[in-house]
Amino acid sequence: MVLRLCVMAPNRIVWNSEVWEIVLSTNSGQIGILPNHAPLLAALDMGVSKIRTDGQWSAMASMGGFAMIDNNRVTILVNEAERASEIDPDEAQRGFQKAQAELAEAEGRRRIIEANLTFKRAKARLEASTTV
């Protein structure tokens, strides 16, 4: 038994295939999805989703959204997502270091919130590029 996974961003379909298992980053922690999972609607946090197909694990950086699980179908709507294979690890490392420095220097409520979001996005991309 497998799951049908479809990950959609506003500008493209990021993933559309059958998978064996998915680990999602939700607002309340990570959740594993296997075939015959109970119906669920979950808010996704910025983070790394891990996807197992044919014994191989792949990673995807997602930038928030929602996941709906029902009838062995997993539909994920995201603001933005990238497969690990699409991310250059060196560029992700540089982006993470830059975001970390900007967060440390941020002053004022608005700037701190913006820097924190940039940091979380950079961290998700870096983790996805080095996962699995």
The dotted CATH code for 87-130 is: 1.10.287
**Burial label, 46 (beta-carbon count in 10 A; 0-12, 13-18, 19+):** buried
Question: What CA–CA distance (Å, rounded) separates 25 from 32?
Answer: 9
pLDDT for position 41? 95
pLDDT in tens, 10-59: 999 999 999 999 999 998 999 999 999 999 999 999 999 999 998 899 99
> What is residue 106's three-state secondary structure?
coil
The dotted CATH code for 3-84 is: 2.60.15.10
Q: What is the pTM of this model?
A: 0.87
| Structural domain boundaries in the chain | 3-84, 87-130
Using alpha carbons only, what angle is made at residue 26 by residues 125 and 122, rounded to the nearest 5 degrees? 15
pLDDT in tens, 71-130: 999 999 999 999 999 999 999 999 999 999 999 999 999 999 999 999 999 999 999 998
* Paired strand residues for 131: none
